[in-house]
Amino acid sequence: MQLAGKRIIVTGGASGIGAGTVKAYAREGAFVCVLDRNDAAGEQVAAEARGYNAGEVAYFHCDIADPQQVFAVFEQAGARMGGLDVLANVAGVENSGAAEELAPEVLHAMWSVNIDGTVFTNQAACRLMREQGAGAIINFASDAALAGMPNSAHYAASKGAVLSWTKTIAYEWGVKYNIRCNTVCPAIRTPMYEAWLADLSEEDRQAHLAAEKLRVPIGGSMGDVDEDMAPVMVFLASDASKFIDGQIFCVNGGRNMVRG
């Protein structure tokens, strides 16, 4: 039980990486509050995680783009758990479009979840954590922020903002409150990736899968949520990583290597 006694909020816990993270945290003995805007799937993940009979698990509806919901739900979740040790802010959205055609409402929808949602959830977590003088925040960026992503410039830009925000609060809140903040750039098979793949033509899909084989040294494709991502999430939430702050963790089989 690497997370026994830890009080954790996971956003985006209804699907993909968030769902795998909720289950891993519950198995390791944490009290986990699952937040999402997809209530049916979120309740289902929470029920499954509760079934391990290890940690406690509660579900809350929360749209992270809505500041009123975020601050109210974090207060409720914090009161329920008696504080907050870790925020895993996994929720995010991705879609495609030619950079020169991206409409203001498309940009706004992307910024409001990936950028504003990161800022609001992090601020709400900080208000709970600073009272304790400790905490850990894990945000989600993307290799798209490091290497670019043709046909998804607004997504890449939103994740670039997550990296800059996280590096900044890693210092600011580290000094003031002993809150450490790190970023994950994953390449993991999830419903988000499957949806992206399904949007490609058959020819492009086959070309993509063939390119993956050459591009990814470990395994030749996207990783697995439970085997490849969840153990890293447990490490970043645990005291084993308590001296790690402001770093970028690329969990991608070596697809893009962070340049020094």
Ligand X SMILES: NC(=O)c1ccc[n+]([C@@H]2O[C@H](COP(=O)([O-])OP(=O)(O)OC[C@H]3O[C@@H](n4cnc5c(N)ncnc54)[C@H](O)[C@@H]3O)[C@@H](O)[C@H]2O)c1
Of positions 54, 58, 93, 134, contacts ligand X by CB under 6 A:
93
Residues of 66-87 as b/e, b for ≥16 C-beta within 10 angstroms? bbebbeebbeebbeebeebbbb
Q: Which stretch binds ligand X (CB under 6 A): 2-10, 74-82, 88-96, 100-108?
A: 88-96
Give the chain's length.
Answer: 260
Q: Which stretch binds ligand X (CB under 6 A): 10-18, 80-88, 129-137, 233-241?
A: 10-18
Cα–Cα dist 102/119, whole Å: 23
Of positions 27, 186, 232, 250, contacts ligand X by CB under 6 A:
186
User: In the range 15-54, which residues lie near ligand X by CB under 6 A?
Assistant: 15-18, 36-38
User: 255 by DSSP, 3-state: which?
Assistant: coil
Catalytic residue among 25, 52, 59, 155: 155
User: In the range 117-176, which residues lie near ligand X by CB under 6 A?
Assistant: 117, 140, 142
Strand arrangement of the beta sheet that strand 57-61 belongs to: 57-61, 31-36, 7-11, 86-89, 135-140, 179-186, 248-251
Query: Does 192 help bind ligand X (rule: CB under 6 A)?
Result: yes
Q: Which is nearer to ligand X, 41 or 169 (CB)?
A: 41
- Give the residue ranges of DSSP H helices in the chain: 16-27, 39-50, 67-81, 104-110, 117-132, 143-147, 153-177, 191-198, 202-215, 230-237
Has 155 been annotated as catalytic? yes
Q: Which stretch binds ligand X (CB under 6 A): 50-58, 84-92, 200-208, 242-250?
A: 84-92
Residues found near ligand X in the complex (CB under 6 A):
11-12, 14-18, 36-38, 62-65, 90-94, 113, 117, 140, 142, 186-188, 190-193, 222
Active-site amino acid positions: 155
